[in-house]
Structure 1
Amino acid sequence: MSEAEESEQERLRRNLNELLQELRVAQAGVQILFGFLLSIVFTDRYRDIDQYVRVTHLVTILFAAASVALLTAPAAWHRVLFRRGRREDIIEIAHRFTLVGLGTLAAAMTGTVLLLGEVIVGGWPAILFGVVAGLAFATLWFLLPLRERNHDSIDAPGHPDASDVL
């Protein structure tokens, strides 16, 4: 069956399944990152680091925790609202949580690169590594896709996924 022949419920089911598949990819990465960031505190070297690295580490952990919460929330929403006829609501809120969760994951990854740069080389090179990482995530995850989205004709009347755009 083509997408044009899908019923509204089939389209919603497909959209939710695609979203949950995307979240599985991001969740694994953020959970591994979160565990890595937590383990750093229990190393012997941690007690000797300066306040700047400690604050950067804490902020990075908070971004990673926010990302875990945001990227796992759609599964919880789906489970709580399961069989209540709220699939469209779940998809809309999950879409928003996912975008914000990817933003917080990008910030956590950027903070991690900054932390590692600070521990390995320190100073301005570490900051440069963090800035480059942040720009790379922003570009690859948001700027380029948004640029491509502006070139789409998906909003055109009659396009099978026109109502998928949230």
Structure 2
Amino acid sequence: MPGVGGAGRDETAEERADRQWQELIQEIRVAQTGVQILFGFLLTVAFTPVFHGLSQTDKTIYIVTVVLGALATGALIGPVAFHRIVSGRQIKPEAVAWAARLTFTGLILLLATCTAALLLVLRVATHNALVPWLVGGVLAWYLLCWFALPLWARIRYTAEN
């Protein structure tokens, strides 16, 4: 029976690459939407009257956040460009591998962008000493949801019984 005892799916390398590509594209759609909305909002901040009254520290956090958002956007859109450029070249397994790397890089950059944006917003909104602790708590939550839980499940459910 396919899939039992580590036998895997009954599919060719090309079918596997097609399936993996479709799964990856679905994952990218979710992350791309989030990063593009966040990046779009970040780009407008510099044109608001409040921006000019920010401290230099907050302006620096903003600049770092915008750059991180731009990098995340590039990494998460990269797989689409990669696929378009190599399409029809019979290298889909390699394209899937590179797209997965770009996607993972994009997720790391999205994590950094979300964390930096939260830091900036909470600093400006509250001027409270608890801000670093709140941001640290949210960062820990992101790390748990995005990395620790999936890694735990990977280890737990793929270990030899």
Which one of 150, 154, 157 corresponds to residue 145 of structure 1? 150
Corresponding residue of 2:78: 73
Corresponding residue of 1:162: none
Task: Provide the C-alpha distance between the structure 2 equivalents of 1:133 and 1:60, rounded to a whole number of angstroms.
Answer: 16
Per-residue displacement from partner, 1:111-136 (whole Å, max 9, x unpaired)? Answer: 11111101111142222222122111
Q: TM-score, normalised by structure 2?
A: 0.90
Which one of 45, 48, 56 corresponds to residue 53 of structure 2? 48
Structure 1 regions of 5+ residues with no counterpart?
157-166
2:130 alignment partner, SS class: helix
Corresponding residue of 2:40: 35
Per-residue displacement from partner, 1:84-117 (whole Å, max 9, x unpaired)? Answer: 0110111111111111110110110011111110
Stretches (4+) displaced over 6 A: none
Task: Provide the C-alpha distance between the structure 2 equivalents of 1:138 and 1:4, rounded to a whole number of angstroms.
Answer: 31
Corresponding residue of 1:98: 103
User: Root-mean-square deviation (CA), in Å?
Assistant: 1.5
Task: Provide the C-alpha distance between the structure 2 equivalents of 1:52 and 1:135, rounded to a whole number of angstroms.
Answer: 23
Task: Provide the C-alpha distance between the structure 1 equivalents of 2:157 and 2:24, rounded to a whole number of angstroms.
Answer: 20
Which one of 117, 134, 141 corresponds to residue 136 of structure 1? 141
Give, as a single letter, the amino acid of the residue that structure 2 aligns with 1:152.
Y
Per-residue displacement from partner, 1:15-49 (whole Å, max 9, x unpaired)? Answer: 00110111011101100000111111010011010
Count the aligned residue pairs: 154
Corresponding residue of 2:5: none
2:157 alignment partner, SS class: coil
**Residues 14, 93 of structure 2: 8 Å contact kept:** no
